[in-house]
């Protein structure tokens, strides 16, 4: 496995965001035993139990790259643009967002995991898989052998990718969707929750249903 989850394990982590995804990432950091310095959010109105609010995005300028790891607490439910933009900005500013793999995820040996990837509780990732930066393999998702998951892509909770599936950069595979072996899902495409994908999905397309067909409108 080439993920970086253990590379900087002693360093403080600053959590970006305070919504639902941030709560899950905070829980994963606790499970990994990572010390969390605090979270950054637009206001202090949101509470993440046991974690202090550090301030707004302005605080990031005071955190020197190399003095703390960052963890992306901004998720996506179909539109990855905010998460992608934030990751790219932080990455180019020199911050390290290490890959985070929940200890209760099952990740085979020989899996390649880029910086910023988050593999959540109960996910299963099989041999030969490659996961691009900032991608999410969400709760209970199954990514079978030799799949290629693009940068910023999101495999949502309970989705199943059979072997040798390609998910393009920025694509979203919705909750509980099923994708049969060998399928290619194009960049920035969206597979709706519960869909069964049996043919390739074009870049930017939105498909839904069983079997999945292009959505109208």
Ligand X SMILES: CC(=O)SCCNC(=O)CCNC(=O)[C@H](O)C(C)(C)COP(=O)(O)OP(=O)(O)OC[C@H]1O[C@@H](n2cnc3c(N)ncnc32)[C@H](O)[C@@H]1OP(=O)(O)O
Known binding-site residues for acetyl-CoA equal: 154
What residues from 164 to 183 belong to the interface with ligand X (CB under 6 A)?
A: 174-175
Q: Write the interaction track for ligand X spanning residues 104-143; mark x where CB under 6 A is met and - where it is not.
A: ----------------------------------x-----
Residues between 23 and 52 with contacts to ligand X, criterion CB under 6 A: none
Q: Give the 3-state secondary structure of residue 113.
A: strand
**Stretch in the footprint of ligand X (CB under 6 A) among 92-100, 121-129, 185-193, 197-205:** 185-193
State which of residues 29, 74, 156, 185 lies at the interface with ligand X (CB under 6 A).
156
- How far is it, in rounded angstroms, from Cα 215 to Cα 217? 7
163, 169, 174, 177: CA torsion to nearest 10: -20
CB of 65 to ligand X, least distance (A): 29
Say how far apart CA 98 and CA 96 lie, in whole Å: 6
By CB under 6 A, tell whether 194 contacts ligand X: yes
The residue from 21, 95, 145, 172 that is catalytic is 145
* Largest CA-CA distance found in the chain, in angstroms, rounded: 50
Burial zone of 145 (CB within 10 Å; 0-12 exposed, 13-18 middle, 19+ buried): middle
Residue written as token pair 């959540």 = 120
CA–CA gap between residue 186 and residue 202 (Å, rounded): 5
Task: Specify whether 145 is catalytic.
Answer: yes
| Residues flagged as binding site for substrate | 75
Count other Cβ atoms within 10 Å, centred on residue 94: 9
Q: Is the peptide bond before 164 cis (omega within 30 degrees of 0)?
A: no
- Give the residue from 117, 103, 94 showing the smallest Cα distance to 29: 103
Between residues 25 and 54, which has the closer beta carbon with respect to ligand X?
A: 25
Q: Which of 31, 77, 106, 127 binds ligand X (CB under 6 A)?
A: 77
Q: Based on the shown chain and the rule CB under 6 A, indicate whether residue 65 belongs to the binding site for ligand X.
A: no
Q: Which stretch binds ligand X (CB under 6 A): 29-37, 49-57, 162-170, 208-216?
A: 208-216
Does position 55 interact with ligand X (CB under 6 A)? The reply is: no
Output the smallest distance, CB 146 to ligand X, in A.
23
Shortest distance, position 155 Cβ to ligand X, whole Å: 9
* Omega prior to 75 cis, within 30 of 0: no
Q: What does the binding site for ligand X look like in residue numbers (CB under 6 A)?
A: 77-78, 138, 156-157, 174-175, 190, 192-194, 208-209, 215
């Amino acid at each position: 496995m080439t993920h970086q989850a253990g590379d900087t394990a002693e360093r403080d982590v600053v959590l970006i965001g305070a919504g639902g995804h941030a709560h899950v990432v905070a829980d994963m950091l606790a499970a990994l035993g990572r010390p969390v310095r605090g979270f950054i959010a637009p206001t202090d109105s949101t509470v993440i139990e046991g974690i202090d609010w550090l301030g707004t995005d302005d605080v990031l300028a005071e955190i020197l790259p190399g003095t703390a790891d960052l963890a992306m607490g901004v998720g996506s439910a179909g539109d990855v643009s905010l998460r992608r933009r934030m990751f790219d900005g932080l990455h180019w500013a020199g911050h390290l967002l290490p890959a985070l793999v929940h200890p209760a995820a099952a990740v085979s040996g020989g899996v390649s995991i880029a910086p910023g990837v988050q593999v959540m509780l109960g996910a299963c990732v099989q041999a030969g898989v490659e996961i691009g930066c900032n991608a999410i393999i969400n709760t209970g998702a199954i990514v079978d052998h030799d799949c290629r998951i693009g940068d910023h892509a999101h495999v949502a909770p309970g989705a199943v990718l059979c072997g040798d599936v390609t998910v393009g950069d920025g694509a979203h595979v919705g909750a509980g969707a099923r994708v049969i072996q060998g399928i290619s899902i194009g960049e920035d495409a969206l597979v709706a929750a519960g869909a069964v994908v049996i043919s390739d999905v074009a870049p930017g397309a939105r498909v839904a249903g069983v079997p999945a067909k292009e959505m109208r409108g």
